[in-house]
Amino acid sequence: MKPERRGFLSGLVLSTSALVLAGCNKIANSSAVDHVLTSAEAFNRRMGHFFVRPKSLAREYSRADISRFFKPNGSIAPDNPADASSTPAYRAHVASNFADWRLVIDGLVEHPQTLSIADLKAMPAKAQITRHDCVEGWSSIAEWRGVQLARLLQKAQLKPNAKYIVFHCADAIDKNDDGSPLFYYESIDLEDAFHPQTILAYAMNGQPLPVPHGAPLRLRVERQLGYKQAKYVMRVEAVDSYKRYGQGKGGYWEDNGYEWYAGI
Ligand SMILES: Nc1nc2c(c(=O)[nH]1)N[C@H]1C(S)=C(S)[C@@H](COP(=O)(O)O)O[C@H]1N2
Ligand SMILES: [Mo]
């Protein structure tokens, strides 16, 4: 659904209540107007239930609003070695322009997926111009293009016990106590996972996603703060609980004290 729809809906709510507040007896007594008001209210209630409340949209901007500089933040040049599952190191993927890179979708799904960037680009694309808000106090606007996470999850088909989606990233942002790399990770619930603006983006402002911004694929979950926007996504895992990862708080920054639900 386009954001204009939301403006239209709230406009409708406003005009209905404006008429009611005006309290004009002549108008209020007309049964034709009564009928219009009642059906408008019913329409608002129905649309409100299905669209406005559970699926409220993040604001979208125009091309003219796109920031000339978008600050890359956190990891900007991952340098991790190949891991135990023999995934080529991130730098090798950059060198080969992600030709051998694959996104894995697994966990509590009926049909695990292994997808190349070409596979993702062959799927219907979703583009949106949104504002990214970092807790550090800066914001930038960019256009993101990618695949709706909902489409990917529909392909993989969640098992009934799936409750959260965990994003495993390629960048080692820190070290564990034993010296092993601690990879960035994030998690969201199914409401955000199936939200129409939740996408895995492979392009930014019309260009392939640059390395500092999370190449080749990053999450955009537009109703939440910057640290939820996982970059360098390698694996999307459906789980019933995120407690077994990191310190059990659902993400790298959550493990360091930030809120798990980072609503804007
Ligand atoms: N994998 C990974 N994702 C990450 C981070 C990171 O360090 N590693 N930093 C987060 C934070 S705090 C912010 S503000 C944004 C920054 O995105 P940008 O580099 O495109 O500005 O990415 C988020 N996602
Ligand atoms: Mo951030």
Same domain as 238, residue 157? yes
**Better-predicted residue by pLDDT, 168 or 44:** 168
Same domain as 221, residue 105? yes
39 found inside a domain: yes
- Which ligand 1 atom sits closest to the C-alpha of 233? 1
Same domain as 224, residue 153? yes
Same domain as 138, residue 92? yes
Candidate of 66, 73, 144 to mutate for ligand 1, largest count of ligand atoms within 8 Å of Cβ? 73
Are 183 and 74 a contacting pair, CB within 8 Å?
no
- Which ligand 1 atom sits closest to the C-alpha of 72? 19
Q: Which domain does 20 fall in, by range?
A: 1-51
**Residues 45-76: tens digit of each pLDDT:** 444 444 444 569 999 999 999 999 999 999 99
Last residue of a domain, one of 51, 68, 85: 51
Rounded alpha-carbon distances, angstroms, from residue 65 to 2, 6, 58, 126, 194: 18, 20, 15, 19, 27
**Residues 137-180: tens digit of each pLDDT:** 999 999 999 999 999 999 999 999 999 999 999 999 999 999 88
**Residues 186-210: tens digit of each pLDDT:** 999 999 999 999 999 999 999 999 9
Same domain as 120, residue 39? no
264 found inside a domain: no
- Average pLDDT for residues 18-26, to the nearest whole number? 34
- Which ligand 1 atom sits closest to the C-alpha of 171? 1
Q: Output the CA 36–ligand 1 centroid distance in Å.
A: 49
Same domain as 246, residue 210? yes
Q: Name the residue with the closest Cα to ligand 1, atom 8.
A: 75
Are 67 and 140 a contacting pair, CB within 8 Å?
yes
% of the chain residues with pLDDT over 90: 73
Last residue of a domain, one of 51, 72, 92: 51
Q: 145: domain CATH number?
A: 3.90.420.10
262 found inside a domain: no
Q: Name the residue with the closest Cα to ligand 1, atom 10.
A: 227
Which of 174, 199, 183 lies closest to 89 in space, CA to CA?
A: 183
Output the pTM of the full model. 0.81
Taking a 5 Å cut-off on Cβ, the residues next to ion ligand 2 are 134, 226-227
